[in-house]
């Protein structure tokens, strides 16, 4: 018995069409509003995080300067003379 090709269409690789994913359906207006609300919340959180990061960087810079000042004062009181250190490159 020979298998019949009636049930399964045979397509050669040369004649196959490329398969693209289905395009997304347009969303309803209420979903668009929800998406915009979520986007606004995320943008606000990002801005707050950026502000906090900047504030912490400023605070860290201030504390480094304060520590250096205290070290210099302690050295003066002890009568130690040190060569000034170069500031880090990331400032």
Assess if residue 50 is contained within a domain: yes
Lookup: tokens for 55: 């504030």
Distance CA 91, CA 62 (A): 12
Assess if residue 40 is contained within a domain: yes
Assess if residue 61 is contained within a domain: yes
Assess if residue 57 is contained within a domain: yes
User: Total domain count for the chain?
Assistant: 1
* Phi, psi angles (nearest 5°) of residue 43: -65, -40
Distance CA 42, CA 38 (A): 6
Assess if residue 14 is contained within a domain: no
Domain limits at 75? 31-80
Residue pLDDT tens, the chain, 91 long: 555 555 555 555 566 777 777 777 666 767 778 889 999 999 999 999 999 999 999 999 999 999 999 999 999 999 888 776 666 655 5
pTM for this predicted structure = 0.48
Assess if residue 44 is contained within a domain: yes
Assess if residue 25 is contained within a domain: no
Assess if residue 23 is contained within a domain: no
């Amino acid at each position: 018995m020979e298998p019949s090709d009636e049930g399964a269409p045979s397509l050669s690789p040369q004649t196959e069409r490329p398969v693209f994913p289905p395009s997304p359906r347009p969303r309803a207006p209420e979903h668009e509003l929800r998406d915009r609300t979520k986007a606004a919340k995320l943008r606000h959180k990002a801005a707050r995080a950026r502000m906090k990061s900047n504030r912490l960087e400023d605070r860290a810079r201030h504390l480094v300067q304060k520590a250096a000042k205290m070290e210099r004062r302690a050295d003066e009181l002890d009568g130690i003379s040190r060569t000034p250190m170069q500031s880090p490159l990331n400032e």
